[in-house]
Each structure stands twice: as structure tokens, then as C-alpha cells.
Amino acid sequence: MQAGTLAVVRRPRPLPAIVPIGLTVVVLAILGVHGFASARNVTNLGLQGAILLMLSMPMTLVIMSEGLDLSAGAVLSLCSVAMALALAGGHGLSAALALSIAVGAAFGLGNGMLISLLGLPPFVVTLGTLGIAQGIALVLTDGNAVSGLGPAVSALYSRSLLGVPYPVLAALATWWLTHVLLYGTRFGNYVYAIGGNRDALVLAGARAWAWHVAVYVYMGCVVGFAALLLTGRMNAAHPTVAIGMEFDAIAAVVLGGTSFERGDGRLFGTAIGVATIAVLRNALDLLGVESSLQVVSIGVLIMVVIVIDSLRKARKSA
């Protein structure tokens, strides 16, 4: 199928409701939270949002293909454990990172095969692989943290280029790579088509199942690389440390205006969603708000954005 044939599904869309809301959250945080606008906190904000941005980029592609990945946080924890065990066993950082990416890719391949070839619901499949990944991580570590990794991974995490921390650069590189894949390659055309009109893609002779699997493999590879940042931040690994991060990633994608159907979404909106969640969490941390109430606030924000977008769509269709 030619790229031009699929371009019709890329219709112009208005800015999602999260844009004005996100800007409001940022302004209120700057004006109302002591120490929020300090250079140290801005750097900390970037470090906190780096892993979330990395998870949210491929999650956007997954949701655009009418899928879901609930296993991302558990797989991230397992990849971090695998990397830490390799480093603690005397292997180099490159080998440990390769192992982490391989573990993530394997889970992505499994998710993609079960969802695309067998037609199983993404929610059920990834919920199952969530349990598998978490169980393996707990067995490998006996439920304890893995330490004694040496200085390599933490030193890499602490590096910067022209004042920009390495984790932020890695997150921006993931955004750039995903942008190129989605908007500049056949893979991106097929992502739109799988979510927008899979039957047309199949009738055109494309192997829709293979491209669908590739979406989940890409998700797994990015998760495996993100484990480098997670492990470097703690200079250790814990089997449950990233559990729940997938929900923040899904929230960022939804806040950014990506729809769970019709292959409708864009990366810029997701990035705004990530920034909004990171700013909101950071401001609430500075205010001393409990983590459980932070989750409530993000849930309220999601509902507000969904209601606004729904009212906007209803007004246009009227």
C-alpha cells in the first residue's frame, strides 16, 4: 500500500483540551508553590518526567492501534532487575543494557503475537503479562532490592551535555525517534491504518499482523532502554519499583487527546500530557500532599479533559 493512500486518515485536529489546562497548571504552580521555579526544581522536574515521557511515546502508538499495554510498569521493573543482576554479576553496561532491551522486546513480541495473531483483547493479554513479569522479577530477587552494581550506570545517569541531564536527552531522543517513525515512515502509516481501517490495510495486501506486532515490540524495546534510567537513578533495582507507571503513561496519552479508536492521536498532545502530570505531581510533592491524593487529582484532571473534549465533539456534530 502506498503512503499516500493512507494519508487520508491523518485529518487535522484541534488542540486537545489539555493544552489550556496544562498551561494553567504550570502557571499556578509557578505562582503559587514556593521553590517551584528554582533551577534545582526545574532540573528535578525534567528528571522525574524523563521516564514517563519515554513510556508515553510508544504507548501513544499502542493506543492509536486500538490497543493497550498494562504490563509496561511490571516489564520495566523486570528489565531493571535483569540489568542490575547483570551488572552485579560483573558484566559491562553495554551487555546489561542489551539484556534489558532483549527482555522488553520479548514481552512486546509476546503481547503483539497474542493480540494480533490470536485476536485476544489487549486488556486481558497485557494484564496477564503484567503478572508474569512481576512474578519473574520477584522470583529472581526474592522480593529484595538488587545493589552492588558498580559506578557505571549511576555515572551515566549523572552526566549532562551543555547543562542538559542525560535522562532528559534520552527522553527527547525517544520523542524524536517516535516522531520520525510515526510521521516519516511506512510504519507510521500502518499504525494509523491499523487503528483507523485495518480491513483496508489487509485488502491492500499489507501484513497488518506483522506491523501490529512491531508496535508492541517497539514498546518493549523502549521500556528496556528506559530501565537504564530507572536503574541509574537508584543505582539499584527493585522488583516492584515501576508498578503503576503504565497508568501515568496511559493517562498522559489520554490527556493528550489520543482516542482509543479510529487511530486518532498525536505525539505533541502526549508530550503536553506528560508535562502536565509531571508538573502537577511535582507541585503537590512540594506542597506535601500524599501520593494517594495525587492519584486522585490526576484522575480528576483526566475526567475534566474527557468531558471538555466530549462537549467539543458534540457541539461540532450538532
pLDDT in tens, 153-181: 999 999 988 888 999 999 999 999 999 99
Could you give phi then psi for residue 237, rounded to 5 degrees?
Answer: -140, 145
Q: Looking at the DSSP assignment, which residues form a beta bridge with residue 237?
A: 146
Please give the domain boundaries of the chain with CATH numbers for all domains: 45-311 (1.10.3470)
pLDDT in tens, 209-224: 889 999 999 999 999 9
Average pLDDT over residues 40-65: 89
Cα–Cα distance between 112 and 118 in angstroms, integer?
A: 9
Lowest mean pLDDT among 13-22, 229-238, 239-248, 295-304: 13-22
SS3 42: helix
pLDDT in tens, 79-117: 999 999 999 998 999 999 999 999 999 999 999 999 999
pTM: 0.86
**pLDDT band with cut points at 50, 70 and 90 for residue 1:** very low
For residue 163, is it left (φ>0), alpha (ψ between -120 and 50) or beta?
left
Cα–Cα distance between 213 and 220 in angstroms, integer?
A: 11
**pLDDT band with cut points at 50, 70 and 90 for residue 4:** very low
Annotate 25-88 with three-state secondary structure: HHHHHHHHCCCCCCHHHHHHHHHHHHHHHHHHHHHHHHHHCCCCCCCHHHHHHHHHHHHHHHHH
pLDDT in tens, 109-121: 999 999 999 989 9
Check pLDDT > 90 for residue 195.
Answer: no
Cα dihedral across residues 148, 150, 151, 154: positive or negative:
negative
Check pLDDT > 50 for residue 12.
Answer: no
